[in-house]
Structure 1
């Protein structure tokens, strides 16, 4: 009885240690987000003004945004600042996740995981920047110029925030397509040839996703669908490079083996 009890305790000990470490990593991430939020909150109104600039620049002179709820002037900048704090803390949060899972990975997996994590963060930021600097000006210009002349555009600050956050997230996730494509090829789940043959379906799927994640107009759907497809091609290109390097490495090993035998 005592031996079986000791074995059970030994089996539970690593699990408890992992749970304690996981809690520690999560707490560090939350603290980092909170500290960044406290540092950014004094500039909450300036941050909201910056995010609203693509729309405000296209409104007629003297126009302004409105708040239809009593708490909106406080809650909208507060919510945006919290989201920005999470965005800024993403590298540190992913570092904590990496530190938790890294001990259980092989050396070749570690060598592959770090570039993937770094490129994932960079691509997500690139997607958000593309939405702000390229998509928003075209999108808001279309919206503000297609309405009736006797209708004044007076957007609610909370509704505008929900709209742009949705687009930020959509473009950030869409820019992760090369990583997803690369992982599918590198893991052997699919091949470059198989993905290449599915281009017509991918194009259709990109426009369907654009239709679901963006406002119901052709311009915004195309601004999401076209980059998604181009990024899909980038993922296939990287997959070809990986296959080429693997073939080179395999040929080098074969040549080394033949040389040793001779």
Structure 2
């Protein structure tokens, strides 16, 4: 992963849409804290169809990419190697290049989720509910398995998604039961709820928050708080947000891309908080 000594190292986040991404703020804060003046981190609007051509045009100064939707699965056939974690959940959110320019895919969402939960003391929960069934939902199931959750119920919108979630559970070693989305309000009684849906999808559930809720991990960070998150806080439930996930997974990305460890978690979190406050 070493570029020529006199050359600027490049990394970036790719996706569509991408203008909202906080990744540049977090990674640049890390570079500043680590004294990596020869590193630049950008943002590029790249669709699934454009991804192969974009990758083909990158020169040896490029050492890392962060990927968001819709690229986390689309990139897999374009890689030379995929980590076991990324393969298990069929989602790559990080690409790094080796010294011989082999493309290697990783998933830092899973350990990022685990780190965020452990930071708040959430471990050993007997049962959890997952709202949604996209790439982040798969990562959530993997994370739940790692923190010792014995059983997961996923609330999904289609039979195909339900089958996919059950398959992830089988591969990851945690039973996943599925329920139709129309019953999603039932999820809120679980001791741990992870909402992985797009903005607006859980707004209708805000009125269904129980009197004594457990822990909600809503992976959105903009808009924030979501109506569900706000209602959860009013009921004094434990709340984690998308910035928690974003920072913890970005810490791991910085370490993979730059080879510097540990990445500066506190500085990255503070930069993200300032950026969100200014929006």
| TM category, shorter | under 0.3
Higher share of residues assigned helix: 1
TM-score of the superposed pair, with normalisation by structure 1: 0.23
Query: Relative contact order, CA 8 A, sep 6+: which one is greater?
Result: 1
- Which structure is larger by alpha-carbon Rg, 1 or 2? 1
The structure carrying a bigger strand percent of its residues is: 2
TM-score by length of 2: 0.22
